[in-house]
Structure formats: C-alpha cells, structure tokens
Amino acid sequence: MAVSSPRDKYFGVWLIFFMLGLGTLLPWNFFMTATMYFTSRLKDSSSVDYSANQTEAEGEHRSILEAKFNNVMTLCAMLPLLLCTCLNSFLHSLIPQRLRVMGSLLIIMFVFMATAVLVRVPLEPLPFFCVTMVKIIIINSFGAILQGSLFGMAGLLPASYTTPIMSGQGLAGTFAAFAMICAIASGSELHDAAFGYFITACVVILLSVLSYILLPKLEFFQFYQQRNRNQRPEEDNSVNLMNSESKGEAVDPNTHQDVSMIKIFKKIWLLALLVCFTFTVTIGTFPAITADTKSTLADGGSWERYFIPVSCFLLFNLCDWAGRSLTAACMWPGKDSLVLPVSIVCRLGFLPLFMLCNVQPRLHLPVFFHHDGWFIFFMILFAFSNGYLASLCMCFGPKNVLPHEAETAGAIMAFFLSLGLALGAALSFLFRALV
C-alpha cells in the first residue's frame, strides 16, 4: 500500500528552492552588471573616470585589456561552467549532496567578499585583470556544481518543484537589471554601485546557506529523500536478480553505473537536446545582438540612455521570469506532445527578426523593423517563450525516469542547459558578424 506524501507546509520547501535558485544566479548577474566598473579599472590611472554617466568618447585610447575584457570574461565563464556541470553529472553520486551545495555556496560567498574588499584596494590593470578572471572561473565552476546539484535534488520531488529554481534564477536577472537602471538614474560612482552589488550578493548567498540548512528539517523534503533511499536498493536488487537469472554472470558495479547513465540519457535525450537548443538560440541572440540595438525615437534625451537597460535587459528578465513562474500553474504542452519541440524550434525565427531591427553598427543586412515598438514586441515574446519552454523541459526531464534515477537525470538536464549557454555564447560572435 502506497504511503501518501505529507503536505508542504506553508510552501516551505518551494520557497527554499526559490531562494536557492536566486542564490545560484544572482551573484553572477551582479558580476555582469558591474562590467562598467571592471573595465573602468583597466584604463590608465590618469584617464579613469568613475562617473556612471561615462561616455564612449573617452574610449578612443582603450587598452587591450579593456577592449578584450568582455570576450575573455565570456570564455572564462562558459568553459568552467560547461566542464564542471559535466563533471557533476558523473560524480554527484560520489560526493555528498550537502558538501556539493554548502561548499559551493560558501566558496562563492568568499569570492564576493574578496571582490567587495578589492573595490577599495588600488591595483594595476594587469594584476586586476588576472585576479578578476580567476574569480570568474571560480564563481562559474562552483555555480555549475551548485546548479546541477539543485536540479538533481528537485528531480527527487514532484515535477513542479523544478519551477521555483527556474523562477528564482529568472528573478536574479530582473534584480540585477533593476539595479543597473537605479545606478544610471542616481548618477552614483561606479565604485559605490559595484560595492553595493557585491555586498548584496553576499547577503543573498548567506540567506541561501541558511535556507539550505533548514531544508533537511522539513517533513516534506525528508519524505522524498527517504523514499529515494528505500527505492534504490529495491530496484538495484531486482535488476541484479534479472541479470543473474538471464546470464548467470556477476555484475560489475562500475559497469552497471555506466550503463545506468546511458540508459537514463536514452530516456531524456529529446528533452535534454530541446533545453540545449532553447538556450543556444537565446544566448546567441541576447545580449550580443539585442544590446547593440539603437532607439529610432532617441534624440539624445533620457530615452536613449534608458532604451537598452529597460527595453532589452529589464524587459527580457521580467518576461523570462514570468515564463518560468507560469509553469507552477500551467504545464502545457505535455512532455510527449509534438507542440513542445515544434515551439522550441520555431524560436529560431527570432534571430532574423532581431537582426532586422536597428542594430548598429551593421554591414550586411538592411533595417526592416525601424520602430522601437517592434523590438519591444519581439523581446516580450522571445523572453517569455525562453523562460516557459526551458522551464517545461527542466520539469519534465527527471519525471521520464525511475524515481531513484531522477537526481542523475536532473544533473544531466543541467549539463545540457549549460551546453546550450556555451554554444550560444560561441555562436553569438558569428550571428553578430552576419548583421
């Protein structure tokens, strides 16, 4: 007789997973938001202007470090993210969950505390560049382990518990975009704005640590953790029994583990490729193409200054967050429906639509959609579809396998999510050159 699961009192587990999702991406989003601060410190000390209203006209004598900062930052972020997500998919069963999650959170918090301190410490451009890239590698390496572990944990729970992680990650981008707009509006110095970003990130990570400490004490989470422990030996024994009856051969535990990974991937390969394709299209377009779009209504006024922060970054993150959060109430189309893969493939159409907006500078394509309204309309659909469809795939993946395989399935899905981010970042250079 099946035992009914306890109720998630006060949505405690849901809220903790939301907080952990927020803690996964908010630090990195604040790091990207502070790009102007980082590049300002790579200028010659005699030409540094820390005003938030710093103009591009002063960038004629940009140093090599300053000019290459964004490209190197992307490389140092995506490669460790992909590598460590892959490692987590294979090694998560060898390293305790608590060590992976708590260790990653504490290391990321330490890096941000060091980053906040360095805001007040003068450094020459080259040492500052090297230290910054090392911090980016560390943040994304442990962020990948944390993300993969969270999706693995959520895989043990009902499908809807992947939604709060995705929703929390969506809020992280919205929070960072709003902080960028506030910094522009206040005209505060980049030093002060960056210091505020890093301290806020430390506070959020600390709250995530406290939330994770509370999680094992909740009855709802305990029930599903215990059910996973009970089912694993039962299913392993049944598999071993069938193998011994059919072949009469001893089973090598290592071989069985490898076969299990392949078997799990065979069950979720379509959803894994779909989430990878979703983020490849998204990151290939945003922000490489979208952030270079210029307002056709601008006349040098405030709208020109706020067009990209509001119409690109804030609008994308708000709509992406809305799409991710909607899966808590609606999960259509179903995991076996053809509508899901067709919808995801159709998102490829956003690439030419954004290319034909007023992206500047441009060499090859004409501007077809002149009015800012077209760009805003495309951005709403683009961001909402990204959040909703990606969240659906991440929710369905662990539910296509046996309960004791759900954690591994969640880790595999997280790897393909990261693969999509890396492929999108690489292809973004090609897509931008086509414009």
Instruction: In whole angstroms, give the CA distance from residue 389 to residue 426.
Output: 22
Q: Considering only CA atoms, which of 13, 321, 61 is closest in space to residue 161?
A: 13
Instruction: In whole angstroms, give the CA distance from residue 142 to residue 107.
Output: 8
pLDDT in tens, 44-75: 554 444 444 444 444 444 578 776 777 678 77
pLDDT value at position 342?
96
Say if residue 259's pLDDT is above 60: no
Question: What number of CA atoms fall less than 13 Å from residue 81's CA on the CB side?
Answer: 24
Q: Considering only CA atoms, which of 199, 87, 203 is closest in space to residue 147?
A: 87
pLDDT value at position 58?
43
Instruction: In whole angstroms, give the CA distance from residue 237 to residue 230.
Output: 12
pLDDT value at position 318?
93
Structure-model confidence comparison of residues 373 and 180, the more confident one:
373
pLDDT value at position 239?
47
Structure-model confidence comparison of residues 258 and 222, the more confident one:
222
pLDDT value at position 166?
87
Say if residue 307's pLDDT is above 50: yes
Query: Which pTM does this prediction carry?
Result: 0.77
pLDDT value at position 279?
94
Taken in order 159, 389, 77, 376, is the CA torsion positive or negative?
negative
Per-residue pLDDT, averaged over 239-263, amounts to 53
Per-residue pLDDT, averaged over 21-25, amounts to 89
Task: Using the structure block, give the residue that is written with the tokens 């659909």.
Answer: 381
pLDDT value at position 54?
47
pLDDT above 90 covers a percentage of the chain that reads: 33
Across 239-269, b (16+ Cβ under 10 Å) vs e yields eeeeeeeeeeeeeeeeeeeeebbeebbebbe
CATH superfamily of 11-52+61-232+264-434: MFS general substrate transporter like domains (1.20.1250.20)
Task: Using the structure block, give the residue that is written with the tokens 């035992």.
Answer: 3
312: which DSSP letter? I
Question: What number of CA atoms fall less than 13 Å from residue 79's CA on the CB side?
Answer: 10
Instruction: In whole angstroms, give the CA distance from residue 261 to residue 256.
Output: 9
Q: Considering only CA atoms, which of 9, 29, 27, 13 is closest in space to residue 211?
A: 13
Per-residue pLDDT, averaged over 36-50, amounts to 66
Q: What integer best gives the mean pLDDT of the chain?
A: 83
pLDDT value at position 382?
97
Structure-model confidence comparison of residues 92 and 365, the more confident one:
365
pLDDT in tens, 195-232: 888 888 899 999 999 999 999 999 899 888 887 777 65
Instruction: In whole angstroms, give the CA distance from residue 259 to residue 257.
Output: 6
pLDDT value at position 106?
95
Say if residue 411's pLDDT is above 50: yes
Instruction: In whole angstroms, give the CA distance from residue 345 to residue 60.
Output: 41
The C-alpha angle 88, 222, 390, rounded to 5 degrees, equals: 45
Structure-model confidence comparison of residues 55 and 33, the more confident one:
33
Q: Band of the pLDDT at 272, cuts 50, 70, 90?
A: very high
Question: Is the separation of the CB atoms in 423 and 280 below 8 Å?
Answer: yes
Instruction: In whole angstroms, give the CA distance from residue 332 to residue 340.
Output: 8
Q: Considering only CA atoms, which of 74, 49, 67, 25 is closest in space to residue 187?
A: 49
pLDDT value at position 299?
64
Say if residue 236's pLDDT is above 60: no
Structure-model confidence comparison of residues 423 and 44, the more confident one:
423
Q: Lowest mean pLDDT of 48-52, 273-277, 296-300, 346-350, name the range.
A: 48-52
DSSP-assigned beta bridge partners for residue 189: 51
Say if residue 3's pLDDT is above 80: no
CB atoms near residue 3 (< 10 Å)? 8
Structure tokens at 391: 């969240």
Per-residue pLDDT, averaged over 113-129, amounts to 90
Say if residue 87's pLDDT is above 80: yes
Q: 63-77, 107-121, 238-252, 292-306 — which one is most confidently predicted on average?
A: 107-121
Say if residue 278's pLDDT is above 90: yes
* CB-based burial label for 115 (10 Å; 0-12, 13-18, 19+): buried
pLDDT in tens, 320-369: 999 998 988 888 888 888 999 999 999 999 999 999 999 988 888 999 99
Question: Is the separation of the CB atoms in 30 and 197 below 8 Å?
Answer: yes
pLDDT value at position 303?
79
Which residue stretches of 215-247 are H helix? 219-247
CB atoms near residue 67 (< 10 Å)? 12
Give Cα 10 to chain centroid, integer Å.
27
Which residue stretches of 156-189 are H helix? 163-186
pLDDT value at position 400?
86
Instruction: In whole angstroms, give the CA distance from residue 380 to residue 292.
Output: 17
422: which DSSP letter? H
* CB-based burial label for 113 (10 Å; 0-12, 13-18, 19+): middle
